[in-house]
Structure 1
Amino acid sequence: MRQGAVGHVRVVMRGGRALVEKRMADPARHDTELLALRALAQTSIPAPAVVDASPGRILMTLMPGERLDEADADTRREGMRASAVLLRRLHETPVPQGLPAAPDDARIIRSYRDVGGPPLPLSIPEASGPAAFCHGDWTDGNLLVVDGRVSAVVDWEAAHVGDPVRELARAAWAASRKDARCLDDMTAAYGADRDLVRAWAAVHAAELWLWFAEAGPPEHLARLTAELRSWPL
């Protein structure tokens, strides 16, 4: 099973028990994941529990389920809708001390314009409220499901303190690229203002375009570029 997609992840046996070993070369991302997982241990958010940790390595419980991005379209849509309820619960969880700051959206916009990404109506929406505990990459690839129910949220190395609607909008916009209905589904399930969520879409499109431009794969960049060229200005 693949539990998460960043870093080197494998299932290992320890004392007859299957566990997940995750190794990350970036100490900051390692420390962030460890901090987030330990903070979540006493909450109702279904996340792996830390069994052991050392520099660059975290040993955690193997969570049940399969990745939502590998499920059929109906299961994926329902899973993303249900995940918005969990996301709100996360945002209502006390922020652990030492969690990194949110991504710099002004820098994202500057970088996007500097490298000549397709024209987008880029501006940073006003903050929606107090900063919250954010996962940082709430996507179908980081959600596990059992019988259509979200059984785990994995890959916490991008966790940060940030605008909760920004995070919801990022997750909903990404999901809408596979099923346009997901944006409104998730917004309604979370209980957010539709216009506020939609106001973030261009920023997240620019952020994803920069990621593909730097890390690839080229076919993903080409597909997104084609989508952005038809973006209403």
Structure 2
Amino acid sequence: MPELLDERADSVLITLLPGERLDAGTADLRLRRLLASGPWLRRLHRRRPPTGLPAAPDDAGIVDRYRRTGGPPLPLAVPPPTPAVFCHGDWTDGNLLAVSDEITAVLDWEAAHLGDPVRELARAAYGASLKDERSVDALVEGYGADARAVRAWFPVHAAELWLWFAEAGPPAYLTQLTERLEGWSDG
């Protein structure tokens, strides 16, 4: 259990936690770690949320902004929502630590919110798939979700990521993502 070292209005400092980022090892180790992270995310979604969490991102607004900004054509449709739960908000292999195949920490909770659990799993799976398409299966299997329901969210997350790079990210990444989206496939 980490020890609290300092607490401020905008940050919390704790002792060093064991482990390394999920993507610190080989591709196969990363997949095993992503698989192991699925049950953690599912357990989080079953926990009672703390009071005062913000609402989920506005997906209709994301789609509208993406269309107005002129990103590559995507099959954009916001899937029907599922009941809101406690969401981490940025479940990525950079925000999870592991020793071997065991998850040891979940970091960076500043995007926590009440939201759709399938949306959150899909965001994690889409982002992880940019490194290795097999990541989708690992996360979906680990979580125990319906792969079709997860993939239905991918165009929304692609649009969200494209907007982030267009507004704040490095131009080289925007170029890379634009090229990827221009060859979009629902597969």
Bin the TM-score by the shorter chain. over 0.9
Using the aligned pairs only, state the percent identity: 60
1:72 to 26, 35, 45: 26
Identify which range, 215-224 or 96-105, moves more after superposition: 215-224
Distance 1:67 1:224, change over 3 A: same
Q: Secondary structure at the match of 1:63?
A: coil
The one-character-per-residue Cα deviations of 1:109-159 (angstroms, maximum 9, x if unpaired) are 11111110000010110013x211100010011111112321111000000
Alpha-carbon distance in 2 for matches of 1:71, 1:218 = 27
CA deviation digits over 1:21-64, x for unaligned, max 9? xxxxxxxxxxxxxxxxxxxxxxxxx8x56443222332223211
The TM-score with structure 1 as length reference comes to 0.76
- Candidates 170, 189, 193, aligned match of 2:123: 170
| Mapped partners of 1:210, 1:163: distance in 2 | 20
Runs of 4+ in 1 over 4 A off after TM superposition: 48-51
CA separation in 1, counterparts of 2:151 and 2:163? 20
Q: Could you say what secondary structure the match of 1:124 adopts?
A: coil
Give the CA deviation at 1:199. 0.4
Between the aligned partners of 2:143 and 2:10, the Cα distance in structure 1 is 34
Q: Which residue number corresponds to residue 138 of structure 1?
A: 91
Give a deviation string over 1:149-184, Cα, whole Å, max 9, x none.
211110000000000000001111111121111112
**How far 1:75 sits from its partner (Å)?**
1.3
TM-score for the superposition, normalised by structure 2: 0.93
Partner of 2:68: 114
- Aligned ranges 1:85-164 → 2 under 5 Å: 85-128=39-82, 130-164=83-117
- Rounded Cα–Cα distance in structure 1 between residues aligned with 2:121 and 2:37: 10
- Per-residue CA deviations over 1:172-197 (Å, capped at 9, x if unaligned) read 11111211111122112211111111
What amino acid maps onto 2:11 in structure 1? Answer: R
Larger RCO, structures 1/2 (Cα 8 Å, 6+ apart): 2
Match of 1:60 among 4, 7, 14: 14
Structure number with bigger Rg: 1
AA at the equivalent of 1:66: E
The Cα of 1:222 is off from its aligned counterpart by 1.1
Q: 2:36 maps to what in 1? A: 82
CA drift of 1:93 comes to 0.6
For structure 2, which runs of at least 5 residues remain unmatched after alignment? Answer: none
Cα pair distance change 1:159/1:49, threshold 3 Å: farther
1:186 to 136, 139, 163: 139
* Residue type at the aligned position of 1:204: H
